[in-house]
């Protein structure tokens, strides 16, 4: 039996972290393969620990992805987390439990909604990265309605949030957790201040940098993880933004977050050791 399946999606050079993680696992003495989640040739019972990493094409076919996850034994992070976390309606549940989030409105299929008076963002509730997300200026409501209508035609619900303009100068903060412990932090530059077609892989990499872990941000991230019962997962990423002096949750990434391993040997070591513990458990 092979120790670890590092699970990705089809494509060339999907994630620079994938070969790095595979090689680090092998250096630790674990057998590891890189496998594509929807490859029918894969026998999932051959792996002691299937680990989701970069299944970034699931969003347009979430039902298929969840059906696949139900068939995979010993999946990490587990099915219950994936079902909850792959639809951004979870933000409303966290807000109701007291987690500070960006003010959020949901426009589900068959409904309509109002838009903020200032700049705002419309994106699908099921999506990966910034794909399907767009920024609108104040009163660009007709264009926003058209975007929502397009999402609805695609069978997707929409989420509306004010655009946090501090992102343009300060970026977002991503805190990466392994086995419930924060191991490093990344600053992510604004993505929605350029056209979606211009958000290339190179552009995304150029928007990233290591940064310090702000204690106030860490407190919000830990609150979000506790509220989601997600403090004991193999990996988690908490994306935050500072708005008017307060840290707000943007997203809680528990399914297939980039962990930015190439920026942090400490995170690579922590992830490999956490996987090794689960393999031998």
Does residue 34 surpass a pLDDT of 50?
yes
Question: What fold, for 2-86+272-280?
Answer: Rossmann fold (3.40.50)
What pTM did the predictor assign?
Answer: 0.91
Between residues 165 and 195, the one the model is more confident about: 165
Does residue 203 surpass a pLDDT of 50?
no
Separation between Cα atoms, residue 15 and residue 250, nearest integer Å = 22
pLDDT tens digits, residue range 169-189? 889 999 999 999 999 999 987
Indicate the CATH number for domain 166-254: 3.30.470.20
Between residues 139 and 79, the one the model is more confident about: 79
Percentage of the chain surpassing pLDDT 90? 86
- Other beta carbons within 10 angstroms of residue 203's beta carbon come to 12
Does residue 196 surpass a pLDDT of 50?
no
Give residue 199's pLDDT: 37
- Other beta carbons within 10 angstroms of residue 274's beta carbon come to 20
Q: Give the pLDDT band of residue 197 (cuts 50, 70, 90).
A: very low
Distances (CA, A) of 119 to 164, 178, 239: 8, 35, 20
Give residue 194's pLDDT: 46
Strand ranges of the sheet holding 2-8, from the earlier edge strand across to the other edge: 32-36, 2-8, 47-54
Identify whether 130 is preceded by a cis peptide bond (ω within 30 of 0). no
Give residue 191's pLDDT: 54
């Amino acid at each position: 039996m092979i120790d670890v399946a590092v699970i990705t999606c089809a494509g060339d050079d999907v994630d620079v972290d994938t070969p790095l993680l595979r090689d680090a696992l092998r250096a630790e003495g674990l057998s590891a393969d890189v496998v594509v989640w929807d490859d029918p040739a894969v026998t999932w019972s051959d792996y002691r620990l299937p680990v989701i990493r970069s299944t970034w094409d699931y969003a347009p076919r979430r039902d298929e992805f969840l059906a696949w996850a139900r068939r995979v034994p010993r999946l990490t992070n587990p099915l219950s987390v994936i079902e909850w976390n792959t639809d951004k309606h979870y933000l409303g549940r966290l807000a109701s439990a007291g987690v500070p989030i960006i003010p959020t409105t949901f426009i589900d299929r068959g409904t309509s909604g109002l838009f903020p008076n200032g700049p705002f963002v419309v994106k699908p509730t099921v999506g990966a990265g910034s794909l399907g997300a767009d920024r609108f200026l104040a009163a660009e409501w007709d264009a926003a309605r058209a975007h929502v209508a397009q999402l609805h035609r695609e069978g997707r619900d929409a989420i509306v949030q004010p655009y946090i303009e501090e992102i343009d100068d300060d970026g977002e903060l991503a805190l990466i957790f392994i086995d419930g412990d924060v191991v490093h932090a990344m600053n992510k530059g604004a993505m929605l201040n350029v056209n979606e077609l211009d958000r290339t892989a190179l552009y995304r990499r150029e928007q990233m940098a290591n940064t310090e872990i702000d204690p106030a941000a860490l407190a919000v991230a830990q609150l979000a993880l506790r509220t989601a019962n997600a403090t004991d997962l193999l990996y988690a990423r908490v994306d935050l933004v500072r708005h008017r002096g307060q840290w707000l949750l943007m997203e809680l990434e528990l399914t297939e977050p980039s962990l930015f391993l190439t920026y942090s040997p400490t995170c690579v070591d922590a992830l490999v050791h956490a996987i090794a513990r689960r393999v031998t458990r």
